[in-house]
Structure 1
């Protein structure tokens, strides 16, 4: 089934079903973003690639737009076997997943989303046993990480100076952005991305920390006509390929190998979708009625100062607020991986023109080092 056909079905209905119906394993994928969002298209690409390569192994059914599970119910839905795989944003589960919040705390280090997707995947799958333990405790198996494109401010009114943040009701991804917003006199509002449009259209939220592509991916361009080019990092505390333990444990060794085979390509394609969505919006800015603003030098410097100070405080926050006894080694390892992946992806740019070398990097640096027989143990 062609990807364009899959996306056409997604756009006109709640779910898609790939053939053949007599495949060994029915795989239900849940995604709470819209059918044209980068992650939904990434799921569709994965289903198409895997079904094409192993036509008798898997029968995929993809539910988009929260038709099966919303953002917060996805975790319990995976745990209970309502879905076999889905998109998880882990900052929705602050109490249950303190190590996921440690990852989220370093959001402002996200300058390149290709590097952050690689670094986060390698960290949670190979270098953070407490991460895997808390995933298992809460009912998920991480088969990848994820990273959005770099975040900016999307607003209903122009914001260019620090004073403009006073009283702003800011939809954030939690964690570090909440601390930044509160410091500037704004009010953080934590609602799922699927609810951003409604909350902005009703004035519950007046600004959002999101990638540029969200203006189209979440239809925010209808309610937010201003973009402030602040470098607000990336959202990478999550997984686009979070599997249900029941489903994962039901797979044979061969089925696990077949299922994971195209995950690197699908992650690469998702990250390309994020980038090209941003570029498409910027090309159409005037036609969309979008006004792009540069932050004042003082506003930008204040963000840089906050990022430095907040990074120094992350270990203390992790110990005192989240009960992580020894966060320093994990913080150091994650920062080391971020630097590593920035160096790895830089020679491959522009990745959007040829994502296969990036997918090969993901496979070589992460997936070839995992024993699928015992993973995630």
Structure 2
């Protein structure tokens, strides 16, 4: 009897110890196709610490070890991961509704000035998808996923092995693009668009497959591109990569969570979007300076190219609308385009004083978007 009593006490003590040390009731496998150490992965870890501290959920983060960037969308769909960092432009048809605003990101760096195109696009994308676009939600459901917020990278620059000082310098250059509008921008000025996954950029630049990569500056560190980048032209083509589901959750996993857990995820998801976007913004300044110190030529935005880019963006609206109507069969594209363009202008104003403050941006996202979503019904039908 004493032995049995001791065993019961030991089990009780163990349970008490596990509770006191914060054993989590539910661990979600999160896949991200970035290697460790960059702005994105560090931000996801920040979010995870908050999740662990305030809920009975936590993430087990797989950094480029479970799924790469292109594998993540179908991997989340099929349950290989419970959640992941989903790049929607890799699957233009499956996510065509959400790719429409993502393809309009160059509007964030023309007309009204902004200090962070990423903050603007993170807000505009998230608001559009979560509050205004039932067609977006239907496509996520078809992919067995739930969308919990976008992010926006810093404005796109040119990381090159050959310098771009003028419009003439673009002619004949092979330019990697991940956004159709930016690919058209390169072709408009005489370049050749090349489409390759982000994980392959280093090899493509080192082997001369591309002369320039149009991408945000923090990818210098995220993808170890410092070694292959010899020249950086700032401000061109502009815009932001915003076609990201920063916390897309497998729909079966989402529906398996308790009502309280779903409410917790909706409450904390704004921090995830804000942390990634702000850390990305801060990393851009840091990585440009690192590149400068390493001997990389930093080329300021040529004034004639900035003006020509603004004109291109104005005219490209017709191309974007036609493409999404004819290639992907979107309905009411003109109305959707105007709504999104208005949201981009709206978020320029909303983010102008909080673009570099994670907590302030979190509160902004929560107030303007996430607080208007019902955790009892979101993703449950």
TM-score, with structure 1 as normaliser: 0.89
Match of 1:62 in 2: 61
- Paired with 1:59 and 1:299, the residues of 2 have a C-alpha distance of 46
Match of 1:76 in 2: 74
How much has 1:100 moved relative to structure 2? 2.5
Match of 1:359 in 2: 362
Q: Report the secondary structure of 1:262's partner residue.
A: helix
User: Aligned to 1:174, which of 179, 183, 196?
Assistant: 179
Q: CA RMSD in A?
A: 1.8
Q: Does 2:198 align with 1:201?
A: no
Q: Report the secondary structure of 2:86's partner residue.
A: strand
- Paired with 2:58 and 2:280, the residues of 1 have a C-alpha distance of 27
- Paired with 1:230 and 1:357, the residues of 2 have a C-alpha distance of 26
- Paired with 1:105 and 1:267, the residues of 2 have a C-alpha distance of 19
User: Aligned to 1:103, which of 101, 121, 129?
Assistant: 101
Larger Rg: 2
Contact kept, 8 Å, 1:160 with 1:299, in 2: the verdict is no
- Paired with 1:155 and 1:182, the residues of 2 have a C-alpha distance of 16
User: Aligned to 1:256, which of 246, 249, 262?
Assistant: 262
Q: Does 2:24 align with 1:45?
A: no
How much has 1:20 moved relative to structure 2? 6.7
Match of 2:375 in 1: 372
Match of 2:346 in 1: 340
TM-score, with structure 2 as normaliser: 0.88
Q: Report the secondary structure of 2:232's partner residue.
A: strand
Q: Report the secondary structure of 2:157's partner residue.
A: strand
Q: CA 1:173–1:272 in 2, change beyond 3 Å: closer, same or farther?
A: same
Match of 1:133 in 2: 138
Match of 2:33 in 1: 32
- Paired with 2:292 and 2:366, the residues of 1 have a C-alpha distance of 40
Q: Report the secondary structure of 1:27's partner residue.
A: strand
Match of 1:246 in 2: 252
How much has 1:104 moved relative to structure 2? 2.4
List aligned pairs for 1:113-132, cutoff 5 A.
113-132=118-137
Contact kept, 8 Å, 1:79 with 1:246, in 2: the verdict is no
Q: Does 2:192 align with 1:191?
A: no
Instruction: Point out where structure 2 has 5 or more consecutive residues left out of the alignment.
Output: 1-19, 110-116
Contact kept, 8 Å, 2:292 with 2:298, in 1: the verdict is no
Instruction: Point out where structure 1 has 5 or more consecutive residues left out of the alignment.
Output: 1-18
Q: CA 1:161–1:84 in 2, change beyond 3 Å: closer, same or farther?
A: same
Q: Does 2:324 align with 1:325?
A: no
User: Aligned to 1:283, which of 266, 275, 289?
Assistant: 289
Q: Report the secondary structure of 1:240's partner residue.
A: strand
How much has 1:22 moved relative to structure 2? 4.7
Q: CA 1:69–1:181 in 2, change beyond 3 Å: closer, same or farther?
A: same
Match of 2:5 in 1: none
How much has 1:295 moved relative to structure 2? 4.2
